[in-house]
Amino acid sequence: MLSQEVLLKQRAEILHALCSSGSSEHLERVVDMLLAQGELGWEDYQNVLVPGRTLYCNARQLLDLVYTKGAESCGLFFAAVKQVLPEAQGAGLFSSEFPSSSDDREKPQRTFTEALLTQRPSLISKLQGCLDGVLAALVESGHFSSSDCDGVQLPIHTPSQQARRLLDHVRSKGESAAAVVLQYVEHTQESRPTLEETSPTLNKEFVKYRKKLSRSVSAQSRFLSTYGGTSHMPLDDIYTDLHLELPNSSGDDYKSFDFEDIFGPVGTVNEDADTVLVSGEAGSGKSTWLQRLHLLWAQGVGLQNFVLLFPFSCRRLNSEQRDLSVKELLFQHCCWPDREQEEIFQFILDHPHLVLFTFDGLDELKQNLVDEHIICCPNQQAPVHVLLFNLIQGSLMKGVRKVVTSRPEAVGPGLKKHLQKEVHLKGFSPSGINCFVRKHHNDPNEAAKVLESLQANTALLGLCHIPVLCWIVSQCHKELLGCGEGSPQTVTDVYLMILQHFFQHHSTFKGAVGVNWLQQNLGTVLRLGQLALEGILNSSYVFSVTDLETCSLTESDICMGFLIQTKNMSLVHSICYEFLHITMQCFFAAIYTILSSNTGRSVIPKLFELHEMKKRSLSSACFYLPCANEQTISEDHSTTAESPNLQITATFASGLLSQRYRKLWFHCSSSVLLEKKAKQAAKCLSKGMQQHFKSIPQPVQGEKKSMHAMPEFVWLIKCIYEMQETRIAKDAMSKLEVDHLKLTYCNIGPVECTALAFVLQHLKNPVGIQLDNNSVGDVGVEQLLPCMHVCNSLYLRNNNITDESIRKLIDKVIHLDNFRKIALFNNRLTDACTQHFSYLLKTKQNFLSLRLGNNNITAEGAKQLAEGLKFNNSLQYLGLWGNKIGDEGAKALASALQNSNSIVWISLVGNGVGSAGAIALSNIIRNSTSLEELWLTENCITRTGVESLTQALKHNDHVKSVWLKNNDLSSAEVEELQKTESRLVF
C-alpha cells in the first residue's frame, strides 16, 4: 500500500498516538527530524507549530502538509514517527516498511547554520543539559543579549522547547552564533563522562553497599506482605498483574502498562517533574504492586537503570518524631552503609538519575503536605513530612525519580502540579481474578470450584475485583464453597467470613465453630477493636508494645493473626505491629463501635459525617473514645482522623448493624443498645442523602433537573447497600426528584454498581444515569441490570466494557418501555456487539439514541447495524465517530437510512470514509425528511464526494449542516465549495 494511502487510512490512529499524552513533545520531535532532512522548510515549520493553537490542530496541519508533498515525504514522516513514539504505542501502527529517518539523505554541511539544521534532533537532546552554559557563551561572544536569554528560558516552556527556541534564535543571528553553539556542545560532550565511563569508578565499598541494600530490599519483598503473616506465599508465585490506566484514557490503550512504562513518556503531563503517582482505592493492590517493583529491582530483572532503590513506608515514617536530613532519612530508614557513608551519599547527589525513591501510602501520613517550608539543601534537617513534600515536588534532590502510592483523594492540586504523571490502579480485571485464584490454590480442581462459585454469584465476583477481597475469598474457600444460598453478597459478609475463618483456624475444637463463634472470642475481638478504633481516630496504623498493653491485648490475641509484626528496615529494632490491612483495622474498629458500651453517643454520627473529599482529614476536632477504664484518649496525642478510613469504618458499621446479624450479636451486646445504634445509623444515612438532595440546583428553564453526585453520595449508597435494608433504600429514593443522575469520575467499579442498583431500583420516576469515566466493566454492567427499569438513558463512556456484557444488557432493556438511549463511546466494543444492537433496533420501536463512538467497529459491524436500522422507525441519533467503518460501512448505513423519517443526527467522524461513502450518504440527505446534521469530519473525502453532498443539499432545505473539516481538500477547494453551499462546514 502506498504511504499516502496509509496516511489517510490510519490518520485517526496517528493523531491519537502523537497527541494522546497531552504533550507536544512527540509532534515537535517528528518536525525536528523532517526539518533536519530538508523535507520541511522553515515556512512549513512555522505553519505547523503555531503557538496558542491546539495540539491536535497542529498535528493535523503536519499530516495535511506531508500528504500534499507526496509519497516520499509520507514515508519519511512514518519513519520519524516510528522512531519518536514509544515502542508500545508505535507497534503495529504501520503495516508497511518505510525509509529510515536516519537514512542516506544526509547532505554535505557547508555552513554552521546548515549543521544546526541537519543535527537538530541530536542537538536538542544535548542542549537540555547545558542550556545555561550555551547562553552564557552566546552573551559573552556578543551574539545574545539578556532579553534574548529571557526569551529562550521562558518558564512556560519545557527544557526541549527551550532548546528549540535557542536553535531558532541562533539561526537568525548568523554563522558566527551557530559556530559558538556547535563548538560549545562539542566541547561539553567531550568533557562529560558517559554512564558507561562512570560505572567502573564505583569503588568496592559502594558495590558492597549496593549489594547490602539489594539484599535488604529483597528480604522485605520476597513474600506477600500486604495481607501477610497468615501464610508464607512467595510474591513471585502469587503476584498477578493489576489493571493500570492513565486518567481519561480510553478502552484498553494502556491496559498493558508495566513497571518500565511507569517511567516512560506515555502519559507525561510535566516533563520537568520527577514524581509518578500511582493512585487507587483501599484494597486495590497499591502496596503489593510497589512490593513487586522492589523485588524486580532487587532480583536484577527490572529497573536496572537505577543503581540504588530506597523504599519507604509512610505508615512507618509516622512514628519518626525527629528532624532528619535526607542522608539520615535514607540510611537510617533503609540501609546503613558500613563504611564511606559520605562518599556514597555524594554519589547519590552527583548521580540523581541513577536513584529511585518509593513512598508507599502517602494518604497514611498524619501531617498534611503543604507548601509551607521549602528546603533545597540535602544536609538540612527538617520534619519527615517537610522532607517528603520537598522531595516529591522537586526542590530537594532534583533528578531523583520517585514513585508514590496513595488513595486518590489524599493528593490535592497543590501537590499534583508537581507530578510527572498519575497512573490509576484499578485492581484485578476479570482475567486477573481467574489468574490469582488459580495461583492461590495448588489444587486445580479446588481453584475451578472457587471460580465456578464466583461466576454463580456476580455480586461476589464484583467484590473480587478488589485484590484484598479476592485474597480473602481465596483464603476462605472452604467457607465459601460450603455456604450454598448464603454466599457472601456484601463487603461486610466477606470480612465476617475471614473473621470466622481465623477463629476456626485457631480453635481448639476441631468441629464447626457454630453460631456462638463470636461469643467464644468476644474478648479478643473487643480488645483488637479498641486498638483499631483508637488508631483510626489518631491516624495511627503502627502500634508499639505499649499501645497493645494499653488495650490489654494478650499473646493469644496477637497469635490469632490479625496483627502482624511490621518489617522495619531502620536501625531501630523496637517491635511494632500493624493490622493485616488497613481495611481490616477499619473492620475491627466498626465491630467495637457497635458492640462496646464504652463508645459514646457521638461516635455513630461522627462516622457518618459528610466531609469535603478534597481535604485529607476532618476540619473539626477529633471525637474521643472512652477506654475500658473510663478515661478518654489523651487530647495531647490525638490528631484529626482521616475521612476515608472513617468512611470505610462507617460502611462496615452499616453492614454489621443489619438485621441479618442480630442473631450473631445476641449474646455479645445489649439488644437495646444495638437497636439504638441501628436507628442512629439509619437516621444519619437519611440525613446525609437529604443534604445531597438539597444541594441540587434548580434547572434552567427548558432543561431537565440534574444532580451531579459527588463520591460521598456513592459512599452513602454503599452504606445503605451494606445494611441490606430495603426500607431505607426506598425512603432515600422517595425524596430524590431529578431527571438526570450524573455519577462521572466517582471511582465506580463493580462493587459500587451493585450498591447503586440496590438503591436506585426504588426511584419513583425514570432517570438518565450517567456513569462516564469510571471502572464499571462487564461485571459492573451486569450488576446494574436490576435498576434498568428506572433508567431511560444510560451513559457508560470510558468504562472498559467489552462485547461480553452487551448481550445481557440488551436482553434486559429490550422490553423496557422507559429505556430509550445508550452511549458507550470510548470502550472496547467490536463487531461482535453489533448483532445485539441490531436486534434492539429491530425490536424496540421507541428507541431514540445509539452512540458507539471510538470503539473497534468495522464495516462488518456497520452492516450488522444497518440490518436493524432497516426495520427501525424511531432512532434519532446515531453516533459512530472514531471507528473504522470505511466506505463499505458508510454505504450500508446509507442504504438503511436513506428513507428514514426519524433520524436527526449522524456522526461518522474519523472513520476512513472516502468519496464513495460520501456519495452513498448523499442519498440520506436527498430523501430524509428528518435529518438535520451529518458529521463527516476527519475522513478522506475528496472534491467528488463533497460535490455529491452539495447536489443532495439542493433537494433538502431541512438539513442544517454537513461537517467536513479535515478531509482531503486543498485550501482553494474548500474556499470554492464553501461558496456554493453555506451549510457545508469546513
Q: How confident is the model at residue 93 (pLDDT cuts 50, 70, 90)?
A: low
Q: Are residues 349 and 405 in the same domain?
A: yes
Residue 912 contacts residue 8 (beta carbons within 8 Å): yes
| CA distance to 69, 107, 397, per residue, from 855 (Å) | 32, 45, 43
Q: Are residues 974 and 893 in the same domain?
A: yes
Distance, in Å, from the CA atom of 624 to the CA atom of 530, rounded to the nearest integer, reads 12
Phi-psi region of 267 (alpha: psi -120 to 50; beta: other; left: phi over 0): left
Q: Are residues 79 and 153 in the same domain?
A: yes
Q: How many domains does the chain have?
A: 3
- Confirm whether 135 is domain-assigned: yes
List, for residues 139-183, the tens digit of each pLDDT value: 888 888 877 887 787 755 666 778 888 888 888 788 888 888 888
List, for residues 859-897, the tens digit of each pLDDT value: 999 999 999 999 999 999 999 999 999 999 999 999 999
- Confirm whether 563 is domain-assigned: no
Q: What is the mean pLDDT of residues 458-471?
A: 83
- Location of C-alpha cell 481495611: 583
Return the sign of the alpha-carbon dihedral for residues 615, 616, 622, 623: positive
Q: What is the mean pLDDT of residues 300-304?
A: 82
Q: How confident is the model at residue 103 (pLDDT cuts 50, 70, 90)?
A: very low
- The parent domain of residue 941 ranges over 829-985
**714 or 696, which is more confident?**
714
Domain stop point among 393, 428, 463:
428
- Quick one: pLDDT at residue 621? 33
Q: Are residues 335 and 248 in the same domain?
A: yes
Rounded percentage of the chain residues whose pLDDT exceeds 70: 86
Q: Picking from 259-268, 519-528, 855-864, 873-882, which range would have the lowest pLDDT averaged per residue?
A: 259-268
Q: Are residues 135 and 4 in the same domain?
A: yes
Q: Are residues 232 and 182 in the same domain?
A: no
Give the number of other Cβ atoms within 10 Å of residue 445's Cβ: 7
Is 810 strand, coil or helix?
Answer: helix
Q: What is the mean pLDDT of residues 376-396?
A: 86
- Quick one: pLDDT at residue 892? 96
Q: Are residues 257 and 183 in the same domain?
A: no
pLDDT higher than 60, residue 616? no
| Most confident listed range (401-410, 659-668, 778-787) | 778-787
| Most confident listed range (353-362, 560-569, 691-700) | 353-362
- Confirm whether 653 is domain-assigned: no
Q: Are residues 264 and 183 in the same domain?
A: no
Distance, in Å, from the CA atom of 381 to the CA atom of 322, rounded to the nearest integer, reads 9
- Confirm whether 673 is domain-assigned: no
Residue 105 contacts residue 167 (beta carbons within 8 Å): no
Q: Are residues 284 and 400 in the same domain?
A: yes
Phi-psi region of 230 (alpha: psi -120 to 50; beta: other; left: phi over 0): alpha
Return the sign of the alpha-carbon dihedral for residues 179, 182, 183, 185: positive
- Confirm whether 438 is domain-assigned: no
pLDDT higher than 70, residue 720? yes
Q: How confident is the model at residue 611 (pLDDT cuts 50, 70, 90)?
A: low
- Residues 6 or more apart whose Cβ sits within 8 Å of residue 631: none
- Confirm whether 450 is domain-assigned: no
Write the CATH number for 837: 3.80.10.10
pLDDT higher than 50, residue 607? yes
- Quick one: pLDDT at residue 845? 93
- Quick one: pLDDT at residue 515? 56
Nearest alpha carbon to residue 769 among 714, 833, 732: 714
- Confirm whether 157 is domain-assigned: yes
Q: Picking from 440-444, 579-583, 604-608, 977-981, which range would have the lowest pLDDT averaged per residue?
A: 440-444
Write the CATH number for 270: 3.40.50.300
Q: What does the block give as the cell for 790?
A: 428506572
Residue 410 CA from chain centroid, whole number: 15
Distance, in Å, from the CA atom of 22 to the CA atom of 277, rounded to the nearest integer, reads 17
- Quick one: pLDDT at residue 620? 34
Distance, in Å, from the CA atom of 413 to the CA atom of 820, rounded to the nearest integer, reads 39
Residue 171 contacts residue 178 (beta carbons within 8 Å): yes
Distance, in Å, from the CA atom of 833 to the CA atom of 842, rounded to the nearest integer, reads 15
Would you mind telling me the total number of residues written for the chain in this entry? 986
pLDDT higher than 60, residue 380? yes
Q: Picking from 205-219, 825-839, 872-886, which range would have the lowest pLDDT averaged per residue?
A: 205-219
Q: Are residues 423 and 361 in the same domain?
A: yes
| Most confident listed range (127-136, 448-457, 530-539, 616-625) | 530-539
| Most confident listed range (209-223, 576-590, 605-619, 807-821) | 807-821
Domain stop point among 165, 188, 211:
188
pLDDT higher than 90, residue 209? no
Give the mean pLDDT of the chain: 83
Q: What does the block give as the cell for 540?
A: 495511627
Domain stop point among 428, 459, 479:
428
Q: Are residues 248 and 121 in the same domain?
A: no
- Quick one: pLDDT at residue 641? 54
- Confirm whether 376 is domain-assigned: yes
Q: What does the block give as the cell for 557?
A: 490475641
- Residues 6 or more apart whose Cβ sits within 8 Å of residue 54: none
Single pTM value for the model: 0.72
pLDDT higher than 70, residue 230? no
Q: Are residues 322 and 257 in the same domain?
A: yes
List, for residues 924-962, the tens digit of each pLDDT value: 999 999 999 999 999 999 999 999 999 999 999 899 999
